[in-house]
Amino acid sequence: AAGVIQSPRHLIKEKRETATLKCYPIPRHDTVYWYQQGPGQDPQFLISFYEKMQSDKGSIPDRFSAQQFSDYHSELNMSSLELGDSALYFCASSATPFHGYTFGSGTRLTVV
């Protein structure tokens, strides 16, 4: 069965650089969620999209932005990267009516 695909798997950036993370949800899933998980932390909700419109917003810094495209894939854009942005970034998708979330394998971002 198709899963949620995230790319890249690993990313190393320097401070003040920009990064773009991509998420391809399961076909026919209409909602995408982004989470940030710091080392030893629980996942923190950043932002979600339903049918290509922003649905909910969590603790996403102003330096970050995201969007969902016509093919339902989503991108998380991160600018002016800081050391504290080093984390695992998860994407998850779900369908309506809700039957559960499916998580991607995550993108591990390291800012040096």
Smallest distance from the beta carbon of 82 to other proteins, in angstroms?
21
SS3 for 16-80 is: CCCEEEEEECCCCCCEEEEEEECCCCCCEEEEEEECCEEEEECCCCCCEEEEECCCCCEEEEECC
Smallest distance from the beta carbon of 100 to other proteins, in angstroms?
6
Check binding of 56 to other proteins (CB under 8 A). Answer: yes
Q: Which of 25, 43, 68, 85 lies at the binding interface for other proteins (CB under 8 A)? A: 43
x-marked contacts with other proteins along 1-30 as a string, rule CB under 8 A:
------------------------------
Q: Which of 6, 36, 48, 68 lies at the binding interface for other proteins (CB under 8 A)? A: 48
CA distances to 13, 21, 25 from 18, in Å: 8, 10, 23
Selection from 28, 19, 45 nearest residue 109 by Cα = 19
Smallest distance from the beta carbon of 110 to other proteins, in angstroms?
14
Selection from 90, 85, 79 nearest residue 112 by Cα = 85
Q: Give the interface with other proteins as residue ranges (CB under 8 A).
A: 31, 33, 35, 37, 41-45, 48, 50, 55-56, 58, 88, 90, 92, 94, 96, 98, 100-101, 103, 105-106, 108
